[in-house]
Amino acid sequence: MWNSLIDKQPDFSHEIVVSNARIRLKDKKLYLHEMTEFMHTATRILKPSGILALFFNARDAASWKFLKEVIPSSDKLQFRGLFPMNYSANSVVQDNRKGGLKNDFVLIYQKPGNEDKIKLEFLENLPNWSKEIPNINSKSS
């Protein structure tokens, strides 16, 4: 979406994702490494009270568990909550595939600091807002 707004073509080689497409070379091990690096960098460069909105989804419990573990510490970056957003690959096959993803989530993190400057109460009014990471029981990857 962002690339569309600024009229840029995305470079998918830099995308942090797990892909079954062999040509992309995007496996789970690389994903975990790149996400860890990203979260540490985001934590370091966010200003006090800075907000990180992360678009995320996964079918497996391990990926969601990873999000809980990758945060360096609660005094450096805090999970504030999430809300679902509609997802569609614009493909009848993908949209109807068993186990296909139906929603992406926007996860909101905030670096501690002058919380009175940036209040997040308005998020609680969003449909399906939750302060809990989903409990995913699937073991697929």
Give the separation between CA 44 and CA 47, rounded to whole angstroms.
8
Region 76-91 average pLDDT: 77
Give me the mean pLDDT over the 89-110 stretch.
68
Mean pLDDT: which of 24-33, 58-67, 83-92, 130-139 is highest? Answer: 24-33
Q: Which of 66-70, 99-103, 116-120 has the highest mean pLDDT?
A: 66-70
Average pLDDT rounded to a whole number, residues 37-50: 90
Task: State the Cα–Cα distance between residues 68 and 41, nearest whole angstrom.
Answer: 16
Under the banding of pLDDT at 50, 70 and 90, the label for residue 116 is low
**Whole-number Cα distances in Å, 5 to 8, 10, 86, 90:** 8, 12, 19, 19
DSSP E strand stretches across the chain: 51-56, 78-86, 103-110
What's the pTM?
0.74
- Per residue in 11-34, pLDDT tens? 777 788 887 778 878 888 888 888
Q: Which of 31-35, 47-51, 100-104 has the lowest mean pLDDT?
A: 100-104
Angle at 107 between CA 136 and CA 98, to 5 degrees: 40
Q: ∠ at Cα 108 (41, 17), nearest 5°?
A: 60
pLDDT for 45 equals 93
Nearest to 48 by CA among 108, 110, 113: 113
Q: What pLDDT is stored for residue 140 in this prediction?
A: 44
CB 77 within 8 A of CB 39: yes
